[in-house]
């Protein structure tokens, strides 16, 4: 099935509110669990992390609760999403741990600050130019641990419909629509391996971790 890109940024206020209030308990806890299993033993007790494409900051908050001695820069290009993220960060009492930054990936450099970890959830499939992500990571200062999770594109529209029925049936219409669009926009594991090879990042590990998710990781 051919990839169909979707908008890079979630700029609509209603869309941002819907995402901020949605129940992502299972996939976001799964993200933290997989991060710990994949690279947790490589992380020091304290350090700095960058969350690329943080959205409403739910994963930044979960990471901060799991690794309380880390300082996190959480970046997103959408003002509406960061507005919801700020509410969530303040409500969690983690505003001293999490610094929200509004910027697009193409405007971002990771060479000005050395991070111990760069992580991201569901950013890659939004990018019209995925090499922006891999080149930014390749040029990051030092050699940070990397952990990325994203959707993977199914083989057919029938599979997209089946996954939507399984995971977002009964959710708000906007969330059902976006979930389907994101599956169409996602990359396959083989496409990501080709992207990594083109960026000179062949050492990264690509793993299929569910019926709809894959991870990309590098230990320090």
pLDDT of residue 58 exceeding 70: yes
28 compared with 11, residue with greater pLDDT: 28
What's the distance, CA 86 to chain centroid?
Answer: 17
Helix axes 131-138, 189-198, angle to 10 degrees: 50
Query: What angle (nearest 5°) sits at the alpha carbon of residue 46, between those of residues 121 and 35?
Result: 30
- pLDDT by residue (tens digit) across 182-218? 999 999 999 999 999 999 999 999 999 999 999 999 8
For 81, which DSSP code?
Answer: H
Q: Is 154 helix (H, G, I), strand (E, B) or coil?
A: coil
Q: Which of 145, 58, 48, 140 is nearest to 97 (CA)?
A: 48
- pLDDT by residue (tens digit) across 137-156? 999 988 899 999 999 999 99
- pLDDT by residue (tens digit) across 92-140? 999 999 999 999 887 766 767 899 999 999 999 999 999 999 999 999 9
């Amino acid at each position: 099935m051919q990839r169909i890109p979707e908008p890079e940024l979630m700029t609509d206020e209603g869309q941002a509110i819907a995402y901020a209030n949605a129940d992502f308990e299972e996939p976001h806890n799964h993200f933290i669990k997989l991060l710990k299993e994949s690279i947790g033993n490589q992380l020091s007790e304290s350090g700095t992390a960058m969350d690329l494409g943080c959205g409403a900051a739910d994963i930044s908050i979960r990471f901060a609760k799991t690794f309380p001695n880390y300082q996190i820069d959480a970046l997103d290009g959408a003002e509406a999403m960061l507005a919801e993220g700020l509410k969530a960060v303040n409500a969690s009492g983690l505003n001293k741990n999490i610094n929200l930054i509004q910027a697009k990936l193409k405007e971002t450099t990771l060479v000005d600050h050395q991070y111990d970890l760069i992580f991201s959830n569901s950013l890659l499939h939004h990018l019209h130019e995925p090499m922006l992500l891999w080149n930014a990571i390749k040029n990051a200062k030092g050699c940070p641990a990397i952990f990325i999770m994203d959707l993977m594109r199914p083989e057919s529209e029938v599979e997209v419909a089946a996954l939507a029925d399984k995971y977002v049936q009964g959710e708000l219409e906007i969330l059902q629509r976006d979930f389907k669009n994101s599956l169409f926009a996602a990359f396959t594991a083989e496409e990501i391996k080709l992207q990594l090879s083109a960026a000179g990042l062949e050492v990264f590990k690509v793993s299929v971790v569910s019926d709809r998710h894959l991870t990309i990781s590098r230990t320090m």
